[in-house]
Amino acid sequence: MQLISTVEDLRTARRGLTGKAGFVPTMGALHQGHASLVRQSVAENDLTFVSIFVNPTQFGPNEDLDKYPRTFEADVALLESLGVDFLFAPNVADIYPKGEAQISFQIRDLDKVLCGASRPGHMNGVVQVVSILFHLVQPDKAYFGQKDYQQFLILKTMATELHMPVQVVPCPIVREPDGLAMSSRNRYLGREEREQALFLSRLIQAIQQQRGQWTSLAQIQEFAAAELSQYPLVRLDYLEVLDGRSLKPLHDLSPESHPHIFVAAFLGTTRLIDNAPLWNDR
């Protein structure tokens, strides 16, 4: 695996390469969810690029940029074992040479809900850095986990509308044996917080199990409030059921409407997200 730390070195390495290139952009602190993306890229492409870059433009002023976990040596060892060809690990000045970025993106409806609403500016920062990375790496396919479902949908739309020659590939959520969605932020959780974090996946499963009974989002939210009473350490950020294709509100919860469950919650200062289709056989 070749380690690249500057934009110029990446351009030099990329020049003249042939074959299909896969790309997995990350912020490091890698876990088996990331590994699943890398494995798929290695299996489907001639070359695989991974980036590790903790992007400051997608963090709000009171979020965890400074304490975001950084485990670079362990990340390198994992990526080498998975057969990655190139690791791009730039510093902030390489990606934003003028300091604060001067160009931003206007996202219309897709970032007005869920994490886009809860974290103003976050999705703009994601689009900003991924568009830069796509431009530099020039991948044929880029792989994103569906735990960040809204992010995936926005990036897929970006690539389509800007005619980028890259296929944005969705990959399934990877979970711990007890059902908790894998996340770099899980390591922040204390023992009791870790146990109560199961609220997210258990709530989704309970909603799915009763999927033929729901007649409205309000009914589901009332059910969630009752369930939440059993988890005193959990502070719910949002619970929504939206059209999984457009993130728009639904008039009914039938399979034909593609309802998708989204939940976010805080355990202390740690914010976790999860999601799944209501009709999970579709």
Distances (CA, A) of 219 to 207, 224, 239, 246, 258: 11, 9, 12, 22, 18
pLDDT at position 101 over 90: no
Active site residues: 34
pLDDT at position 170 over 70: yes
Query: How many Å separate Cα 106 from the centre of its chain?
Result: 19
How many CB atoms lie under 10 A from the CB of residue 87? 21
29-84 pLDDT, tens digit each: 999 999 999 999 999 999 999 999 999 999 988 788 888 899 999 999 999 999 99
Ordered domains of the chain (ranges, CATH): 2-171 (3.40.50.620), 184-276 (3.30.1300.10)
Mean predicted confidence (pLDDT) in 86-98: 96
Residues 6+ apart with CB under 8 A from 89: 3, 4, 5, 51, 52, 53, 72
What integer pLDDT is reported at residue 282 of this predicted model?
43
pLDDT at position 186 over 90: yes
CA gap 64, 258 in Å, rounded: 33
CA-based radius of gyration for the chain: 19
Strand locations in the chain (E): 2-4, 21-26, 47-52, 86-88, 141-145, 167-171, 234-243, 259-267, 270-277
What integer pLDDT is reported at residue 54 of this predicted model?
96
208-230 pLDDT, tens digit each: 999 999 999 999 999 999 999 99
CA gap 269, 282 in Å, rounded: 34
Query: How many Å separate Cα 246 from the centre of its chain?
Result: 17
Mean predicted confidence (pLDDT) in 106-123: 94
Beta bridge partners of 275: 262
Mean predicted confidence (pLDDT) in 21-28: 98
What integer pLDDT is reported at residue 62 of this predicted model?
79
Give the three-state DSSP class for 247: coil
Mean predicted confidence (pLDDT) in 129-148: 98
pLDDT above 90 as % of the chain: 91
pLDDT at position 281 over 70: no
